[in-house]
Amino acid sequence: MQCEPSGFEILRASLAFRILGETVYRDYAYRLPINGDEAVLDFGCGLGAVAYYAAGRLQGGFLTCVDASARWIEACRRTLRHRTDVTYLQDVRALPAASFGLIYCHLALHRIPDEDLAGVIPELSRLLRPKGLFAFREPLRRAKEAIVVQRLAVESGLVRADSRITDAPLVGSTIESIYARPL
């Protein structure tokens, strides 16, 4: 069962967004390979900090924000309250295959137990269109979890397109990876 965030966790995330929005969330959103006309999925959207900036880059596309937590979904709705081109879900399993050109996860996958990731990553892969991209950013101090995600991405038929180490205020060093669905 999903553990709902406390009011303090939501407040802390909201303050981080207000203070570090441009240096952490915007910078990542601007590095995402968004063309502007595609369908994009934010998996583990939380407060919607990255979605706030990613949605602004979608001129002809749309954004779907997913989080297993009802409280995070409500917080994300508040963050993106002025956007009309965003859909909110708590589960991706009902979505049709090949629905998205880009799926991204920002500092969310390391919170999912390995045994659950073994189902999550193939499900996200299923949702990618041919040539679609799966991008994630995880703390380098959680490298073990990032390695599991990378292995599961390859096992799910994705091919690594890019990977780099970056630094983010309060987070420290992070690994950012992008995987592609072949034709």
Buried-state track 66-102, b at ≥16 Cβ within 10 A, e below 16: bbbbebbbebbeebbeebeebebbeebeebeeebbbb
Task: Give the residue among 9, 7, 2, 4 at the shortest CA–CA distance from 91.
Answer: 2
pLDDT tens per residue across span 112-170:
988 999 999 999 999 999 999 999 999 999 888 899 999 999 999 999 999 999 998 88
Strand 172-180 relative to strand 159-168, pairing: antiparallel
Q: What is the pLDDT of residue 3?
A: 77
Q: Give the pLDDT of residue 2.
A: 55
Could you read off the pLDDT of 11-40 as tens digits, one per residue? 999 999 999 888 889 999 999 999 999 999
Q: What is the pTM of this model?
A: 0.95
**Sheet architecture: strand order including 128-139:** 86-89, 62-66, 39-43, 100-106, 128-139, 172-180, 159-168
In order of their start, the domains of the chain are 7-180 (3.40.50.150)
